[in-house]
Each structure stands twice: as structure tokens, then as C-alpha cells.
């Protein structure tokens, strides 16, 4: 297996056929992601960064080009590419435990016994510190907690790639920072490949090994790719004055607000 | 009970009692104005007490207690409504999920839905050759539309995020149905059921007036032929109370199955 091209998008083009005609959202998108790498996709709203994520997830079939994951063509959605949705998407009629169990039940239907499934659900809830609320329903817990459960559900699928679509976008700044720190700990522990869509520059630099910067749409494409050469574990406090951190932050800001400024809102 | 609760209870009780009092006064006024052709509330009350003293007597096929008549009507409503649910709910799911089905059925539903339920009665008499089944047929046809439509709307409003979760988990059709569609559609479905049972209870009285036999509708018509107006007034109140109870039961059911986002 080609570990340098664990996830690979080659010449991806995405055209949506709407009532007002064809709309090309993405053109010539090329991204390679190594196994175990944390990659952020950043860009202005409407640049198609979520579309890229949905192509990797298999929820959208690309109009042109090749999308590969672990040397296999991405033909549709599946649990090996688990998604953490922006609005958590927990089923409101199931408890926290049942939401994670739904995923575990369908992914490990034949490979785990009932007791093993139960252990695995509890292990993942503990990982995101939500074991205390296992029997609450989504409407009884806070937004941050819902997103934790969303992450637990995705991790419980034991995915090859964890896909996150602006996972912390709807949270307040303090909760967001807290969850970012915990996500870093979890990623260090299970060493998974992560692709995250974000519009938050600090979040991208803090979490990523590589930042993919997208130009504005229509026909958006990859503008620059920035490697973040910061040691792990990272601490947001220590990095605040770090030269490499500031250099990366500056590079992303320059890309977004100088080279590819968006004026229409 | 705290003082606050007592106060809010009294603030509820006082207008309610005043409203009932006003209604009874109005009724008495009408009674006086018609020289007692419309019986007074007191006369109606006495008639009601008499009727419900022995609601389940049985003196042959044409003379049964009011309790039996209500039971027969509820039985027809239950049967017609149940059959409508059996057909309407799956059909609603299909129309909600398939563009083909929605295109195929929507014009027909739009055409037939506004038709007064009683217009279907002659067809029922012709096809089933039985007044009993013709009445059930009318209930079936009048209660099926709200169930089809509300179920279909519910299905089309299942958030696409939930369906994406299903896709990522590669759930099969059966799991999508039981784990996602049915719980998501249930609140809409119960609204449809509530509307349908309301319509069914409205329609049964009218249908039975035409078909005859045992049932609260024909009972009202029979009492009119006997010129026993007090019994008609008792029946009106009883029909209203049963409708209210059906509605309350379904509201309670709907609350049990509602969930916050």
C-alpha cells in the first residue's frame, strides 16, 4: 500500500446540475494525504471545501478524476471513512449510548460479540469523556457534548480516515478550544488519519500537519499546501509566540486575505 | 397547593365556569323562545340520566341502548380507520420516498381528497351490498387522505443528515426504515392519524343517518322520527365528548413520541 498516498484525489472535477444550469464547483483538485496525517482544508465559505470532504466520504461522486483511499477507488460512503457532521447529526430518538451502538452494531455485526460491542461503545464514550451521559438523549446535553458524541460515533467505526466537516464551527470559543485539545490527545492515542474542513485559521495551524488552502469558487481548486512543522504534543499556550506557528498562521492569513480575498460579503 | 398555583387555577376556573353558564343561559333562552320545542337544559339532563341509567339494554335489533349504538359506531370507525391506516401509511411512505410514486399518485389524491365523504356512499352500497360495510367504506375513504399526505410529508422532511449517517453506516433498507425513517416520521404520522380520526368521527354520524341500522348516527335520526328532541341533544353532547376523548388520546400519544432536537 502506498502510505504516502493513503488518500488521494487526482484531477477531481465536480459539476452540479442545478435548475439554472451546470455549476462547476471544483476543478483540477489534487490532494495526497499520508497515513496518520492530520490535514485541514481551509478556504472562504462557498469555496467547495465541504464538497472535497464529501467526495472523500463518498457521499458525492466526483464528475471527473479519481478518488482513492487505501489504494481502492472510493465508490460510495462507508464506515472506513467515518464522518463527523457539522451539526452532529445524532438521532434524537436514541440515547447517547444507542447512537454510538447503532454505528458499532452495523460495522461489527459479525466480528464482535454482544459484550464486546458494549465494551467498545463504552470505551469510545470514555475516550471523549461522555460516559457519564450515556443514557441521556441528544436534546438533554449541550452542543459541545453532542459533538463529542458525534466524534465517538465516528471513532467507534474504527475508520481508516476520520472526516470532520467544520466539527467545532457551531460551538463557543471556550468549548471549541477545549475540544480541539482533546481531539489532539485522541489523535495521538489512536494515530488515525484525519481530514478536517475548517474556516478557522488558528484551528487549522494548531491541529494540522498539512493545510490545504482552497481558492474561491466557482471552479475552486487547491491554491497552496502548507506543511506545519511543529512538534507534538502541541500546547496552544506555548505556541502563541512560537516562530513556526506564527509563520504558518501568517502564510494562511496572507493566502486568505491577500491573495484570495473575498469581497462579496 | 401554593398560593400561586391556587391563583392560576382560579384564573382558569372562573372563565371556564362563566362560559358554561353563558351557554346554558343561551340554551334556556332558545328553549323559552321556541315554547319548549327545544328542551331546556334541565329536561335534557333528566333524559340523559335516564338513558345512561341502562345504556346496554337489548330489546331486539331495532331497540338497543345508547351504549350499544355508540359501540357500533366506534366499531365502524375503528375498522374503517384501521384499514385506511393499513393502506395509507405504507402508501405515504412510498410516495415520500419515490419521485415516481409521488408523480403517479399526487394528481389522483388532489382530485379525490376534496370530495365530500358521503359522495362515496352509493358506490359502497353498490360494491359491498351491505349498509354496514358501506359505512365502513366511507370512513376508510375519508380518513385515508390525511394519513397518506402527512406520512409522505414526514418522509420527505427526514433531514438529509440522518440519511447521510445511514449511508456512511451502510444500513440496509430494513434498518433505514426501523432505525431512521419510522422514528423520524412518527410525529407527522400521528398528526395524520389525529386528523383522520377527527374526520372519521364527524363522518360516521352522517353516514349512519343514511344507512340506518344500529349506530349513534341512526339513533339520532330515529329519535327525530320519534320527535324526542331531548334525546337528540343528549346524543349531540355525547358525540362531542367522544370526539374530544379521541383527540385527547391521540395528543397524549403524540407527546409520548415527540423528542427535542
Q: What is the pLDDT of residue B261?
A: 54
Is residue B27 assigned to a domain?
yes
Residue B86 phi/psi, 5° resolution?
-60, -35
In a shared domain, residues B88 and B115: yes
Q: How far, CA to CA in Å, does B9 sit from each of B6, B14, B22?
A: 5, 9, 20
Which pLDDT band holds residue B260 (cuts at 50, 70, 90)? low
Burial of B210: CB neighbours in 10 Å, binned 0-12, 13-18, 19+: middle
Peptide bond into A233 cis (omega under 30): yes
A24 and A78 Cβ atoms separated by less than 8 Å = no
Q: Minimal Cα distance from A88: which residue of B? A: B161
Q: What does each C-alpha distance from A66 to A21, A42, B58 come to in angstroms?
A: 24, 21, 80
The answer to whether B113 contacts chain A (CB < 8 Å) is no
- Asked whether residue B261 is domain-assigned, the answer is no
What letters, b where the CB count within 10 A reaches 16 and e where it falls short, cover B221-254? bbbeeeeebbbbbbbeebbeebbeebeeebeeeb
Same structural domain, B24 and B117: no
CB-CB under 8 Å, A77 with B260: no
Is B168 close to A91, i.e. CB distance below 8 A? no
- In this structure, the answer to whether residues B244 and B207 fall within a common structural domain is yes
Interchain contact, B175 vs A107, CB within 8 Å: no
Amino acid B118: pLDDT: 93
Contacts of A199 (CB under 8 A, 6+ apart): A42, A43, A44, A45, A166, A169
Kindly compute the dihedral angle of the four CA atoms of residues A195, B167, B101, B189, in this order, to the nearest 10 degrees. -110
Chain B residue numbers touching A76 (CB-CB < 8 A): 167
Residues of B whose CB is below 8 A from A139 = 259-261
Same domain, yes or no: B158 and B171: yes
In this complex, the residue of B162, B168, B183 whose CB is nearest that of residue A77 is B168
| Same domain (yes/no): B11, B55 | no
How do residues B207-242 score in pLDDT, each as one tens digit?
999 998 889 999 999 999 999 999 999 999 999 999
CB atoms B167 and A77 under 8 Å: yes
- Give alpha helix (H) positions in A60-162: 96-107, 114-127, 143-156
pLDDT tens figures, B21-36:
999 999 999 999 999 8
Report the C-alpha gap between B67 and B219 in whole angstroms.
11
pLDDT of residue A170: 84
How far is the C-alpha of A21 from the C-alpha of A23, rounded, in Å? 6
Q: Identify whether A218 is preceded by a cis peptide bond (ω within 30 of 0).
A: yes
* CA pair distance B47, B236, nearest whole angstrom: 13
**What is the number of alpha carbons within 13 Å of residue B76 lying toward its C-beta?**
32
Q: Is B155 exposed, middle or buried (0-12, 13-18, 19+ CB in 10 A)?
A: buried
Both B64 and B83 in one domain: the answer is: yes
**pLDDT value of residue A169:** 87
Tally of domains in chain B? 2
Q: How confident is the model at residue B1 (pLDDT cuts 50, 70, 90)?
A: low
Contact A36, A191 (CB under 8 A): yes
Q: What is the crossing angle of helices B131-156 and B182-211, to 10°?
A: 160
Nearest residue to A76 via CA among A67, A88, A84, A64: A67
Beta pairing, strands A64-69 & A210-214: unpaired
CB A172 within 8 A of CB A14: no
One domain for residues B113 and B4: no
Determine the pLDDT at residue B65. 87
CATH of the domain at B226: 1.10.3720.10
Asked if A53 and A195 count as a contact pair (C-beta separation under 8 A), the reply is yes
A133: how many CB neighbours lie within 10 A of its CB?
19
| B175 pLDDT more than 70 | yes
Give CA angle at A143 (A139, A145), nearest 5°. 90
Residue closest to A92 by CA, chosen among A140, A124, A153: A140
| Longest pairwise C-alpha distance within chain B | 75
Is residue B123 domain-shared with residue B176, that is, in the same domain?
yes
- The answer to whether position B191 is within a domain reads yes
**Structural domain of residue B31, as residue ranges?**
1-38
Determine whether the interchain pair B170/A81 forms a contact, defined as Cβ–Cβ distance below 8 Å.
no
B62 shares a domain with B7: no
Among A59, A78, A102, the residue with its CB nearest the CB of B179 is: A102
Nearest CB to A139; choose among B180, B184, B260: B260
Whether the pLDDT of residue B110 is over 90: the answer is yes
Q: Provide the sign of the torsion angle of the four alpha carbons B165, B167, B169, B175, taken in this order.
A: positive
- Tell me, yes or no, whether B173 and B246 share the same domain: yes
* Residue ranges, chain A, pLDDT below 50: none
Give B254's pLDDT tier (boundaries 50, 70, 90).
confident
Instruction: Report pLDDT for A245.
Output: 94
Domain shared by B111 and B89, yes or no:
yes
Instruction: Quote the cell numbers at residue A248.
Output: 504558518
How far is it, in rounded angstroms, from Cα B81 to Cα B77?
6
In chain B, residues 167-196 whose CB comes closer than 8 Å to chain A? 167-171, 175, 179-180, 183-184
Q: Report chain A residues whose CB lies below 8 A from the CB of B260.
A: 92, 137-139
> Could you tell me if B93 and B210 lie in one domain?
yes
Amino acid at each position: 500500500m502506498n502510505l504516502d498516498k493513503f488518500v488521494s484525489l487526482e484531477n477531481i472535477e465536480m459539476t452540479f446540475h442545478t435548475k439554472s444550469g451546470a455549476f462547476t464547483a471544483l476543478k483540477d483538485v489534487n490532494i495526497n494525504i499520508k497515513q496518520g496525517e492530520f490535514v485541514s482544508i481551509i478556504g472562504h465559505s462557498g469555496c467547495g471545501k465541504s464538497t472535497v470532504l464529501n467526495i472523500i466520504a463518498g457521499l458525492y461522486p466526483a464528475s471527473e478524476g479519481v478518488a482513492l483511499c487505501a489504494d481502492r477507488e472510493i465508490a460510495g460512503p462507508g464506515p472506513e471513512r467515518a464522518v463527523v457532521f457539522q451539526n452532529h447529526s445524532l438521532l434524537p430518538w436514541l440515547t447517547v449510548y444507542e447512537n454510538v451502538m447503532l454505528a458499532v452494531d452495523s460495522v461489527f455485526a459479525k466480528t464482535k460479540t454482544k459484550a464486546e460491542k458494549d465494551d467498545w461503545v463504552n470505551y469510545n464514550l470514555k475516550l471523549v469523556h461522555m460516559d457519564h451521559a450515556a443514557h441521556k438523549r441528544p436534546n438533554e446535553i449541550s452542543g459541545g457534548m453532542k459533538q463529542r458524541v458525534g466524534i465517538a460515533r465516528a471513532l467507534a467505526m474504527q475508520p481508516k480516515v476520520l472526516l470532520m466537516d467544520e466539527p467545532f464551527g457551531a460551538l463557543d470559543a471556550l468549548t471549541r478550544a477545549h475540544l480541539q485539545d482533546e481531539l489532539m490527545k485522541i489523535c495521538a492515542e489512536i494515530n488515525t488519519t484525519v481530514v478536517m474542513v475548517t474556516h478557522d485559521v488558528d484551528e487549522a495551524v494548531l491541529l494540522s500537519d498539512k493545510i490545504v488552502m482552497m481558492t474561491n469558487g466557482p471552479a475552486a481548486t487547491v491554491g497552496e499546501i502548507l506543511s506545519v512543522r511543529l512538534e507534538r504534543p502541541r500546547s496552544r499556550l506555548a505556541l502563541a509566540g512560537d516562530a513556526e506557528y506564527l509563520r504558518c498562521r501568517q502564510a494562511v492569513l496572507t493566502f486568505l486575505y491577500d491573495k484570495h480575498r473575498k469581497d462579496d460579503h | 397547593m401554593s398560593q400561586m398555583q391556587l391563583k392560576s387555577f382560579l384564573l382558569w376556573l372562573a372563565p371556564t365556569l362563566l362560559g358554561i353558564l353563558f351557554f346554558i343561559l343561551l340554551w334556556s333562552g332558545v328553549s323559552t323562545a321556541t315554547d319548549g320545542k327545544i328542551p331546556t337544559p334541565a329536561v335534557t339532563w333528566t333524559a340523559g340520566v335516564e338513558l345512561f341509567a341502562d345504556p346496554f339494554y337489548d330489546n331486539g335489533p331495532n331497540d338497543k341502548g345508547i351504549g350499544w349504538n355508540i359501540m357500533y359506531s366506534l366499531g365502524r370507525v375503528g375498522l374503517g380507520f384501521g384499514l385506511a391506516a393499513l393502506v395509507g401509511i405504507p402508501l405515504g411512505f412510498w410516495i415520500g420516498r419515490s419521485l415516481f410514486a409521488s408523480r403517479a399518485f399526487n394528481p389522483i389524491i388532489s382530485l379525490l381528497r376534496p370530495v365530500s365523504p358521503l359522495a362515496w356512499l352509493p358506490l359502497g352500497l353498490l360494491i359491498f351490498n351491505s349498509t354496514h360495510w358501506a359505512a365502513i367504506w366511507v370512513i376508510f375513504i375519508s380518513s385515508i387522505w390525511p394519513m397518506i399526505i402527512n406520512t409522505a410529508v414526514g418522509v420527505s422532511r427526514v433531514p438529509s443528515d440522518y440519511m447521510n449517517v445511514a449511508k456512511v453506516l451502510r444500513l440496509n433498507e430494513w434498518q433505514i426504515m426501523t432505525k431512521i425513517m419510522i422514528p423520524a416520521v412518527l410525529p407527522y404520522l400521528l398528526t395524520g392519524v389525529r386528523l383522520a380520526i377527527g374526520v372519521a368521527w364527524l363522518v360516521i354520524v352522517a353516514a349512519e343517518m343514511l344507512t340506518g341500522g344500529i349506530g349513534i348516527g341512526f339513533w339520532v335520526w330515529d329519535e327525530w322520527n320519534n320527535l324526542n328532541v331531548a334525546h337528540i341533544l343528549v346524543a349531540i353532547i355525547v358525540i362531542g365528548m367522544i370526539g374530544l376523548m379521541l383527540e385527547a388520546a391521540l395528543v397524549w400519544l403524540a407527546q409520548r413520541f415527540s423528542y427535542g432536537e
